[in-house]
Each structure stands twice: as C-alpha cells, then as structure tokens.
Structure 1
C-alpha cells in the first residue's frame, strides 16, 4: 500500500466527489497479483447507487488521465463502502456514536488486537467503546482499522 499516493489522490478527488453531493470515504491503492487497483469508496445519505459510482468514475478518470499522478497502469474502481463502512474522520466518530463498531489494533492492547463494542466516541484521541457495561479507550495511534460492524 502506498500511503502517499492514496493521500495525494484523496486530496485531488475529494472536491470532485463533494461537488456531486457525495462523501469520499476512503481511497485504496493496492497491488493484487500482477495488477494495481485504485479504489474510491463514496457514500451519501440513503446510500449510493450505480449512477453515482459511474458518474464519479467518469469524472475522476478524466482528471487522473490529465494529471497522471500514478506512474504505472491501474484499474479504477468506485463503489459504496458497504455495510462495514470504515471510520476514519473525526466526524465519523460523532455520526456513528452508539453504533456497533470493530477496532483492529496494530499490536496487542490490553491483551487483544480486535475490539467490538458500541461506539461512545473519540475522546482525547482515543476511540472509546462500551461492551457489557465496560469501557475501553483505545489510543488512535494504535488503530490499524476501525469500521462499523454487523450485529447478527
């Protein structure tokens, strides 16, 4: 994963996505087998549809062809973040308070690398979860990934 390319693309693409009334949730630039993929995850209230994804794909593809920020060939994919939407921005931790979330850490924290609970919020740069009437505050610096979790 190349974070600098992901950050650069995020900065370039976010205004285009917002102009269309959508939110850019995440950018991934990954190699899978012999191919590189640039994945954009977009959303809006009520969810995105194929027309939203197609529209963003078309506009972003033209812009990326003009600016050429990625040196090698890649495939552009635009989609919804799905039911397990990632939580990245501070606003996400406010918007999804009370929701069931899963947090993965980069190393053991309190003996675990995966935590599931109801999101209390982001407090003092710690993701605070509640599970079985107990709270855990996970330092954001240790977080590899945080996302909504499905409750079966």
Structure 2
C-alpha cells in the first residue's frame, strides 16, 4: 500500500468506524484535476444512500481541515457492492470459496490477469485456482481484486 493510501487510511478509518460503519477500503486515483478519493463503507445491515451521505459529510469536514491531498479531487463514499473489491489479507481469507478477478501490477508467471476460485491465503500470498492450476500471488503485487458476483 502506498504511503498516501496508508496516511488516508489512518486519517479516515477511525471516523468511519466512529459513525458505526466498517471502512472496507480506500482508493485514490491521482489524475490532475480529475483525481478521485473513493472510500468504501460496509455494515452488517447493508449500506443505503443515506449512510454514504452521512459518512461523506463527516469525511469532507476532516479532509478540509487536515488537507492531506494537495490536488483537487472528488470524494466518493460507496458500498463495496456485489463485485466488492478486496484490499486486505483478512478480506481475501473471509471470501475464500468465491470466484475472484485479480489484476497484478507486474506479471506473475507471464500473466497479469487471473480469474478463478479464491482458495484463501498462505502467509502474505493470496491463493487462487485458475483452470486446475493453483497460484500463490503475493498481496503486494495485487493492483486490483474483485469478487465475481454469482446470479442464481
């Protein structure tokens, strides 16, 4: 995790949790005037638009005062949704048995994209089975990971 994301996580997670939600994860896309700070919140009863608005108001105030981002950006507060992103080893472990789509920062065994069954974790690696081949992907190499929703 980059130092900017770690700084934002340390600043924003306690606020989200004080409001009664789980801070599922944070993404920051720095693109000049179109930068985006996305904060995912979760709750055992689900997330409504009102929950996102409530958290957004609180985070906006803190971000205005602390000013951790030097460029213009848009704050977006969102539920992780059905195709929820996975950020931590704990989240990968919790969703073992689900289908996942993983994109790596750098190629691993000649590929950057994996879609398959999330088996779990082993130490600092995410274990995913793709076409009967098991891969141990180091968490620090994962750029993006999402649950693949199942519709039955």
Fold shared by both chains (TM-score > 0.5): yes
Q: Which residue of 2 aligns with 1:139?
A: 138
Q: Which residue of 1 aligns with 2:26?
A: 27
Alignment-derived partner of residue 5 in structure 2: 6
- TM-score when normalising by structure 1: 0.85
Secondary structure at the counterpart of residue 34 of structure 1:
helix
Offset from partner CA, 1:42-81 (integer Å, 9 cap, x none): 1122421111101101111111222222233322211112
Gaps spanning 5+ residues in structure 1: where? none
CA distance in 1, matches of 2:105, 2:24: 21
In the other structure, the counterpart of 1:124 is 123
1:52 corresponds to which residue? 51
- Distance in 2 separating the partners of 1:106 and 1:70: 24
Alignment correspondent of 1:85: 84
For residues 67-78 of structure 1, the aligned pairs below 5 Å read 67-78=66-77
Distance in 2 (alpha carbons) for counterparts of 1:139 and 1:69: 29
TM-score (norm 2): 0.85
Aligned length: 151
Offset of residue 118 of structure 1: 1.3
Aligned equivalent of 1:36:
35
CA gap of 1:56–1:130, structure 2 versus 1, over 3 A, is same
RMSD in angstroms over aligned alpha carbons? 2.2
Unaligned runs of 5+ in 2: none
Give the superposition deviation at 1:27.
1.8
Q: Distance in 2 between matches of 1:30 and 1:140?
A: 20
How many angstroms apart in 1 are the aligned matches of 2:22 and 2:121? 20
Deviation string 1:25-50 (CA, Å, 9 cap, x unpaired) is: 22222244633322211112242111
